[in-house]
Amino acid sequence: TMGSWLVNHWFSAAVLAAWLGINIFLFTYYFLFFDRDERYFYTRAILGSALAWARASAKCLNFNSMLILLPVCRNLLSFLRGTCSCCRRTLRKQLDHNLTFHKLVAYALALLTAVHTIAHLFNLERYNQSQQATDGSLPAVLSEMHLQGSKWLNPIHSNQTTVEYVAFTTIPGLTGVIITLALILMVTSSTEFIRRNYFELFWYTHHLFLVYFAGLVIHGIAGLVRGQTEQSMAEVHPYECAEYLTQRDQNCTHSCCKDPEFGSIPAESWKWVLAPIILYVFERILRVWRAQQKVVVTKVAMHPARVLELQMQKKGFSMEVGQYIFVNCPSISPLEWHPFTLTSAPEEDFFSIHIRAAGDWTERLIDTFQLETPRIEVDGPFGTASEDVFQYEVAMLVGAGIGVTPFASILKSIWYKFQQADQTLKTKKIYFYWLCRDTGAFAWFNDLLASLEQKMAESGKADFLTYRLFLTGWDNSIANNVALHFDDAMDTVTGLRHKTIFGRPMWNMEFAAVAAAHPRSVVGVFLCGPEALAKSLQKSCHQHSSLDPRKVKFYFNKENF
């Protein structure tokens, strides 16, 4: 429900409300300012309300350009997460929504850029019309003033100038075109599809942010949009003198005879973005420094379906369950860093990742490791630990597809804690649901489950973990094989004791069974998987929780990996 979302995500909701509020305030304030301020009386005579649209969107563009880099300073966020370790976990966890906020700000930039550009196209058209007008109207008279000096109002000084000419030869025009193109390329190349399948394209295109910020800082320097100078306002105030401008004769004597003079609005984008740029430079220096620290690859294992397992050690590296690292292999590409979820448990004396072939970089990495052991650089770990799993007597863990990866760390860690009779572990029973199209790419996870199963059986704790594998994509050959071996003790698909179920889980039945087995427990439900699955699990949690406080309760936790 919305209420429970707000309780758990009050920090995210507050950040969102503040961000929206500041955007609305900036836009409204500056729109009204440029729409009413007397210094822009003559500017409005030529441009109309398009002036206010352009200036208000410019302020919001500056504000959002200031914010866009902050959520991607991952070391800075880790530092914040560390310093607020005394704060509640919900607050620390919400720092993991950094990329969601980054995307939100990016969409705002795209929308505001459209508003700003369209407004300026209107402005250029109106400047052009005023320059060419010969009807003696106020815009026409204003456009002819001070063409020789620097006190002009209309930046278009000749009748031959076209809108295209201004767009490609002036500093604001050219930088505007360049940063808009950079933004379009960055937004279009960061869709889910491209990130998943052509990560390199996304990665390199995203470095156009350097072009974006350079262009942004230069963009306003020429000051093409102008207002009346303070001195000129004192001498010939528009409210008194505007009416005389269109009907002056040669031998004018009264106080409004002098032409109004105009000056540019100072460039200020740099003031907004300077601090975040400095922070980001620090962030990149820190990344380079951390990457220099030596990583020893202690074990390389190839699993079926081209999955590479790397076990590594690094001085001072300490991880928690559910965290991830960034990996770079300089011999493949010195610039590319890729995120991988850690599959080892904190109790182990190494940290590990499993890399499946998905894209050029991973393909090349797997090929390289089959020939030699190249140098590897690691940055991390990042992300908030998924320690909530240990707080429930009964835990239902649901991993879908690639979302099964973090559960490798969680299941191993729970088992270590359970063996060592760790006081922080409240868990007495785990139900693990694994949904995938085919087990091929996850044979390594299968092996992990099999070894856990064996260890538990050996120590007489076989019932500590119940798991079910749901194969959601299967064909007739599998089905026939299963029919032949139905009475075998081990499963034909996975070789595990627990049978594979074909099709999707009937969540109502699963929840009802858990509720019946643990009538008085508090059950934590954890998902790492798609949004649609999150909705149906949330619904099941709600339906199967008893209203009686002494009876079973289901709490839903969605992990963002």
**What pLDDT shows up at residue 492?**
45
**What pLDDT shows up at residue 467?**
86
Strands (E), 213-337: 226-228, 262-264, 295-303, 307-314, 324-328
**What pLDDT shows up at residue 161?**
77
For residue 391 the two structure tokens come to 């707080």
Q: What pLDDT band is residue 4 in, cutting at 50, 70 and 90?
A: low
Q: What is the pLDDT of residues 50-106, one digit of tens each?
A: 999 999 999 999 999 999 999 999 888 888 877 766 666 667 777 778 889 999 999
Is the pLDDT higher at 479 or at 170? 170
Is the pLDDT higher at 41 or at 561? 41
Average confidence score pLDDT of the chain: 87
Encoded amino acid at 373, one letter: T
Model confidence at 485: pLDDT above 80: no
> Do the Cβ atoms of 156 and 131 come closer than 8 Å?
yes
**What pLDDT shows up at residue 11?**
79
Model confidence at 483: pLDDT above 50: no
If we measure between CA atoms, which residue out of 242, 234, 235, 226 comes closest to residue 258?
A: 235
Distance between CA 385 and CA 346 in Å, rounded?
A: 11
> Do the Cβ atoms of 342 and 323 come closer than 8 Å?
yes
For residue 109 the two structure tokens come to 């930039």
**What pLDDT shows up at residue 87?**
65
Q: What is the mean pLDDT of residues 438-455?
A: 81
User: How would DSSP label each residue in 11-26?
Assistant: HHHHHHHHHHHHHHHH
> Do the Cβ atoms of 209 and 186 come closer than 8 Å?
yes
If we measure between CA atoms, which residue out of 338, 343, 366 comes closest to residue 354?
A: 343
Encoded amino acid at 536, one letter: S
Model confidence at 364: pLDDT above 50: yes
> Do the Cβ atoms of 324 and 334 come closer than 8 Å?
no
**What pLDDT shows up at residue 28?**
98
CA 41 to chain CA centroid, Å, is 42
Distance between CA 320 and CA 174 in Å, rounded?
A: 49
For residue 442 the two structure tokens come to 């996850």
- Over the range 469-493, which residues count as b (16 or more CB within 10 Å of their CB) and which as e? bbbeeeeeebeeebeeeeeeeebeb
**What pLDDT shows up at residue 486?**
47
Q: What pLDDT band is residue 2 in, cutting at 50, 70 and 90?
A: low
Q: What is the mean pLDDT of residues 503-524?
A: 92
For residue 19 the two structure tokens come to 């961000």
Distance between CA 257 and CA 236 in Å, rounded?
A: 8
Is the pLDDT higher at 272 or at 551? 272
| DSSP helix/strand/coil, 178 | helix
Other Cβ atoms closer than 10 A to 42? 25
Cα dihedral value 191, 195, 199, 202, nearest 10:
30
Distance between CA 245 and CA 241 in Å, rounded?
A: 7
Model confidence at 362: pLDDT above 70: yes
**What pLDDT shows up at residue 256?**
86
Query: Where do we find the tokens 């700003």?
Result: 116
Share of the chain above pLDDT 90, in %: 52
Three-state SS sequence of 397-459 = EEEEHHHHHHHHHHHHHHHHHHHCCCCCCCCCEEEEEEEECCCHHHHHHHHHHHHHHHHHHHC
User: How would DSSP label each residue in 34-100?
Assistant: HHH-GGGHHHHHHHTTHHHHHHHHHHHHHHHHHHHTGGG-HHHHHHHHHHTTTS-HHHHHHGGGHHH
Whole-angstrom CA distances from 240 to 38, 136, 162, 267 are 11, 19, 34, 30
- 381 preceded by a cis bond (ω within 30 of 0): yes
**What pLDDT shows up at residue 484?**
45
User: What are the residue ranges of CATH 2.40.30.10 in the chain?
Assistant: 293-383
Q: What is the pLDDT of residues 411-440, one digit of tens each?
A: 999 888 888 877 778 888 999 998 988 767
Model confidence at 480: pLDDT above 60: no
For domain 293-383, give the fold: Elongation Factor Tu (Ef-tu); domain 3 (2.40.30)
For domain 386-558, give the fold: Rossmann fold (3.40.50)
**What pLDDT shows up at residue 1?**
54
If we measure between CA atoms, which residue out of 158, 159, 176 comes closest to residue 167?
A: 176
Residues 6+ apart with CB under 8 A from 60: 23, 26, 27, 108, 112
User: What are the residue ranges of CATH 3.40.50.80 in the chain?
Assistant: 386-558
For residue 544 the two structure tokens come to 């199967």
Q: What is the mean pLDDT of residues 510-532?
A: 91
Distance between CA 197 and CA 261 in Å, rounded?
A: 57
The predicted model scores a pTM of 0.83
Q: What pLDDT band is residue 550 in, cutting at 50, 70 and 90?
A: confident
Q: What is the pLDDT of residues 185-242, one digit of tens each?
A: 999 999 988 987 888 899 999 999 999 999 999 999 988 899 999 999 999 999 988 8
The region, left, alpha or beta by phi > 0 then psi within -120 to 50, assigned to residue 380 is left
Is the pLDDT higher at 461 or at 368? 368
Starting at the earlier edge strand, list the strands of the sheet with 338-341: 338-341, 324-328, 377-382
